Amino acid sequence: MGEQSSGGANARMAIFHDARVLAHATGDGFFEAPPSPLLPIIERHPENRERIENMAAVLRDGPLADALDWRTAEAATREDLERLHDEAYIDELAAIPRDATRAFSSTTIFGPDSFDVCCLAAGLAAAAAEHVHRGDGRLAYALVRPPGHHAQPAMADGYCFFNNIGVAIERLRAQGLGRAAVIDWDVHHGNGTQACYYADPDVLTISLHMPHGAWGETHPQTGDLDETGAGAGQGRNLNIPMPYGSGDIAYARVFDEIVAPAVRAHAPEILFIAAGQDANQFDPNGRQLLTMRGFHELGRKARALADACCDGRLVLVQEGGYQLSYAAYCLYATLAGVLDRELELSDPLAYLREDTRAVDALVAELKTHPLFAPAPGGSP
Ligand SMILES: [Zn+2]
């Protein structure tokens, strides 16, 4: 039997994780680039096993341990993958010898056994979604790597190969799910998820990201406001470029005044969060300023939104977050917010002082866009 409700501060959350996702090997170098012959000290690729080891540890041993139920799951099947990804692309990844390393770009590294890990990550995300969709619980989190939100139907991108949230949504749709919504607060544009659902009226995709624009051939989307969907999906793809240096107040205001109304208008049956922590103020890949308190607020707001519009059905899937220590603490803060728990771990680093006038200007400007302007019909 499932839980009676998502249930205030007594809520529980299922954590879908398997230590075998640590095996995906991305190598070392000049941060994410190949090593420099000038530098004797090379460092880990930012998307490494240690970041997830720290996240798992802070959840397993920290203040939320009593509220978390750890689960594992089977790898995504070929059928799961084919619902979202092109067959030829799946074949291409599957054909890479298990002992080989292939660089899809200088930063997108597919190492030995990565195919199995990518299938496992997608399977864990799909199992988290099924857990919630089936009513076994209201809240689930998939602690996985590699991340998924840059992966497109036929293209690897960023550090992503299969779109974990997309595979999860498609498994639920095969079981009768109607409408879903994805809020992506990873600091990078969720271009892969956008590409998967750009013409789909039933899956609302919202990405809050720094305005990094396109990069290279694999990432042609810019993440601009005017990428609003196509065909029947017109108006169901919302990009919200957050100015560099946006912090806790900006993210909270934009969530309340722009994101939440759009999700409510879509009336999803389940809410997904592409939960990166790389908008934190110390992330090497981000230029934003969120603190633990900001992630705590985002977690609280996501839970309140799910409670208000889809009976509390909320699935979070791990995306980016690359500062080894602070990303783990920000994940803890996020899930504490979702679980309606106070922050019991103090922030060892926060010092943000945010310009609220800049936040007012940002929100006012967003509201001038036709997608977000208040409309008499109540649609976003
Ligand atoms: Zn990211």
- Report strand pairing: 237-241 vs 13-16: unpaired
For the entire predicted model, the pTM comes to 0.96
Distance 322 CA to ligand 1 centre (A): 9
**Which one of 45, 131, 150, 189 is the catalytic residue?**
150
Distance 8 CA to ligand 1 centre (A): 30
pLDDT score for 322: 98
Q: Give the DSSP per-residue string, 124-146.
A: HHHHHHHHHHTTS-SEEEE--SS
Closest alpha carbon to 301 in 262, 340, 245: 340
pLDDT score for 8: 63
Distance 279 CA to ligand 1 centre (A): 8
**What is the C-alpha to C-alpha distance for residues 310 and 256, in angstroms, rounded to an integer?**
17
Q: Give the DSSP per-residue string, 265-305.
A: HH--SEEEEEE--TTBTT-TT---BB-HHHHHHHHHHHHHH
pLDDT score for 35: 94
pLDDT score for 374: 67
All structural domains of the chain with their residue ranges: 11-366
pLDDT score for 2: 39
pLDDT score for 9: 62
Q: Max Cα separation, the chain?
A: 62
219 is annotated as an active-site residue: no
**What is the C-alpha to C-alpha distance for residues 240 and 224, in angstroms, rounded to an integer?**
7
Distance 190 CA to ligand 1 centre (A): 8
Spatial contact of 286 and 330, defined as CB atoms under 8 Å apart: no
Query: What fold characterizes domain 11-366?
Result: Arginase; Chain A (3.40.800)
Q: Which residue do the tokens 């992630």 mark?
A: 295
Residue 56, CB half-sphere, CA atoms under 13 Å: how many?
18
Per-residue pLDDT of the chain (380 residues; tens, 9 = 90+): 334 445 566 799 999 999 999 999 999 999 999 999 999 999 999 999 999 999 999 999 999 999 999 999 999 999 999 999 999 999 999 999 999 999 999 899 999 999 999 999 999 999 999 999 999 999 999 999 999 999 999 999 999 999 999 999 999 999 999 999 999 999 999 999 999 999 999 999 999 999 999 998 999 999 999 999 999 999 999 999 999 999 999 999 999 999 999 999 999 999 999 999 999 999 999 999 999 999 999 999 999 999 999 999 999 999 999 999 999 999 999 999 999 999 999 999 877 778 899 999 999 999 999 888 766 554 44
Q: Which residue do the tokens 């989307």 mark?
A: 221
